Structure 1
Amino acid sequence: MTWILVFFPALLAGLIQGLTGFGAVIIMMIFFPSILPMAQAAGIGGVIMLLSEISLVIHYHSEFKPKRVLSAFVVYAAVATWSVHLGLVLDTHLLRLMLGVLLIALSLYFLFSKSAGDRRYPLYVALLFMIISGFFNGLFGIGGPLMALYFLSLSKSMPEYIANIQGFFLIDGFYITTVRVATGILNAHVVPYILLGIVGATVGTIIASRLSTRWDLATVKPWIYRFIGLAGFYYLLF
């Protein structure tokens, strides 16, 4: 049963992230905390997706914008490095509830405001997205929804969106995993879970890549907004 709770969530995570650009760790965090401590569950979720993220960045490499990704990552990583240690002293349940309400509100706003998703955010809004995302990534390994909105607002096509958000998550994955290894959160004990999860995530990513070639950004946007709302409900309920 333990191996099933690793493989199939990872497969579904690869499928979801390949189609929407984010959400892999959200899916895995529904299941992994039942077999691992919260911090380790978040850590292996990020490692499992690295190979899938590498493959997507290589596939869409011509659309990758390094300056756009790195400038966002500097802010995001600074906050994540600080918040990774806060789970021991903060009321994380309350923080998850607050994030859930925020994501649901954003989802409804973008679904019902026809022009909301077609314009770029002011710099202060983009910075706020990076700070909030980095904060929750450090705590729970989940920083994708707001960064998805940020990169979505800058993208003109599905390949451009996927290339940049996956490039961002790839850099983040290597960085935050290094922090977790250095702090002892990840160790040799979790390697078998990671290897099995990578197989599942790779299968899911391959399926998503074949499906996504039939869709354009305008088709995918509403589904991304809906999934952000579902992520919000997850934070409220679990």
Structure 2
Amino acid sequence: MTWLIFIIGAMLAGFVQGLTGFAFALVAMSFWVWVLPPQLAAPLVVLASVWSHVISLRQERGQHTSSRQLVLPYIIAGLIGVPLGSYFLDLIQADTFKLLLGVFLILWCPIMLFNPQIKKIQQSGHYADASIGFLGGILGGLGGFCGSLPSAWLMLKQRPKQEQRYILRHFNFAIQLFTLVAYLAQGTLQTKLLPYALLLLIAVSVPAMLGAKLFYKISERQFKHSVLTLLFSSGCFLVFSSIVQAT
């Protein structure tokens, strides 16, 4: 059952990653927290995310280069936050991690769904962008969730779709690649990950390509609502299960 849940989570996450360019960690961890400890699941999420971004970035090489200056504050601040997040990973317990993930999903999904108009956020500058990048880096070090907060922030800022996609993909790739290096330096990547990693790369690749193809066939609004509903439901179940176990 553990391997089945692991594979299903990987395939669905790969599909979402291929379709949207982010949210791999949110989808995968919604399944994996039930069968894998965070110390094992987190590096696997980062590894698979890096692999997916390598495929997508090769396909988009040379596009949206005018957005390069916009992504730098996110990346620079995010790289500073990654070591802090990876440090927290060694301290957190499995039940606490599950509860935090569930609360994060519950708070994050409505923001992405309703997309409120906040003038102060829309008019904010590079310092605010860097702060979001720093928090995204911490989430990236904690488990590969670096794209969730910046994606909500960019939608709230009403950035054009092309700029959002460029910033998210390049920020996620930079942070997750650095997180992978940090895990390697800290000894988090152990030989026991190899069976999972090999199966993960196989399970993710085809769904990611299918998701990328489907992106042009359905509306972004329809898919966005479907994914957010799934993630919000997952968050509710995670919080509920954590409360039940604690009582």
Q: Percent identity?
A: 21
State whether structure 2 residue 22 is matched by structure 1 residue 30.
no
Q: Which residue of 1 aligns with 2:75?
A: 73
Aligned-partner Cα distance in 2 for 1:213–1:99: 31
Q: Which residue of 1 aligns with 2:192?
A: 189
**1:155–1:34: structure 2 CA closer, same or farther, 3 Å change rule?**
same
**Contact 1:21/1:161 (<8 A) preserved:** no
**TM-score, reference length from structure 2:** 0.76
**1:102–1:163: structure 2 CA closer, same or farther, 3 Å change rule?**
same
Post-superposition CA distance 1:124-170 (Å, at most 9, x none)? 6534432332222222332332121234446423x543343222222
Aligned partner (choices 143, 150, 156) of residue 153 of structure 2 = 150
In structure 2, list runs of 5 or more residues that go unmatched. 243-247
**TM-score, reference length from structure 1:** 0.78
Aligned-partner Cα distance in 2 for 1:190–1:90: 19
Q: Which residue of 2 aligns with 1:48?
A: 48
In structure 1, list runs of 5 or more residues that go unmatched. none
| SS of residue in 2 equivalent to 1:213 | coil
**1:39–1:144: structure 2 CA closer, same or farther, 3 Å change rule?**
same
| SS of residue in 2 equivalent to 1:22 | coil
* Greater alpha carbon shift after TM alignment, 72-81 vs 214-223: 214-223
Report the alpha carbon displacement of residue 107 of structure 1 after superposing the two structures with TM: 3.7
RMSD after superposition: 3.4
Report the alpha carbon displacement of residue 8 of structure 1 after superposing the two structures with TM: 2.6
* Greater alpha carbon shift after TM alignment, 148-157 vs 187-196: 148-157
Matches within 5 A, 1:1-238: 1-33=1-33, 36-61=36-61, 62-64=63-65, 65-89=67-91, 97=99, 100-101=102-103, 104-109=106-111, 111-112=113-114, 115=117, 120=122, 122-123=124-125, 125-152=128-155, 153=157, 155-157=159-161, 160-215=163-218, 222=225, 226=229, 229-230=232-233, 232-233=235-236, 236-237=239-240
**Contact 1:19/1:209 (<8 A) preserved:** yes
* Greater alpha carbon shift after TM alignment, 199-208 vs 24-33: 24-33
Aligned-partner Cα distance in 2 for 1:132–1:235: 22
Aligned-partner Cα distance in 2 for 1:78–1:93: 27
Aligned-partner Cα distance in 2 for 1:221–1:5: 23
**Contact 1:49/1:201 (<8 A) preserved:** no
Q: Structure with the greater relative contact order (CA < 8 A, sep ≥ 6): 1 or 2?
A: 1
